[in-house]
Structure formats: structure tokens, C-alpha cells
Amino acid sequence: MRWTIPMIGLAASLLAACGGSAACDEILQLQGDLTVGDIVYGNRCETCHGPAGEGDEGPALTDRIPRITRCRVISQVVDGGGLMPAFGDSLDPQDIADVVEFVSLEFR
């Protein structure tokens, strides 16, 4: 099979969609702490996603979390997207691992 430019583009975007990003790999290595994650969630996420992940300004995480990979959650937090701000500069990688652990277990 010959690789055409559009096929290479498609392969690259598929790779990006299912991880392989440096931020994702780095954060996946860290052990998230649920207690700290709960606090980070309360401080940074709850106003938009609701105390129980039921959604408010942002979508219900109880709908989203079961459908997306952990890597997708990480990249949403690091880079933002849609109307959600990026947290890659204001949270350190350990805080991100903690909050991702919290939402992944709490809202799955």
C-alpha cells in the first residue's frame, strides 16, 4: 500500500487523539492522589462542572468520563478546548494527575 499525504495526516491525528503526547505520557506515569484531586476539583473545576460532576456552565462529567480515555481527560485539562480554559500553566503535573484520578474514579 502506498502512503499518500492525506493518509499520513490521518495517521498522525489518530495518534494524537489516542495519546502519545508528551504531556499525557508524563502525567500517566504519576500516581494521582484522590484526596488532593478532590481539593483541586473543588477549587478549579466545580464552578463549571458542578460539585457532583453534573454539569453547569460546562458539560456533565458523569456523561463524558465514561466515554473518553484518561489521556483525553489529561489533554483537556492541560490544553483546554471549546470554552474550557487550559490548566497546563497554572497546575503542576502532579496536581493534574491528582484531579484526573479524582474525576476518573468519581464520575465514571
Instruction: For ligand HEC, give the closer residue by CB, 25 or 63.
Output: 63
Decide if residue 30 touches ligand HEC (CB under 6 A).
no
Candidate residues 24, 32, 49, 71; the one interacting with ligand HEC per rule CB under 6 A? 49
Residue closest to 32 by CA, chosen among 86, 80, 81, 95:
95
Q: How far is CA 2 from CA 6, 13, 16, in A?
A: 11, 18, 22
Residue 74 binds ligand HEC, judged by CB under 6 A: no
**Interacting positions 76-105 with ligand HEC (CB under 6 A):** 76-77, 81-85, 87, 99, 103
Of 83, 21, 75, 5, nearest in space to 47 by CA = 83
Axis-axis angle for helices 70-79, 93-106 (nearest 10)? 130
Residues that bind ligand HEC (CB under 6 A): 44-45, 47-49, 57-59, 61, 64, 68, 72-73, 76-77, 81-85, 87, 99, 103
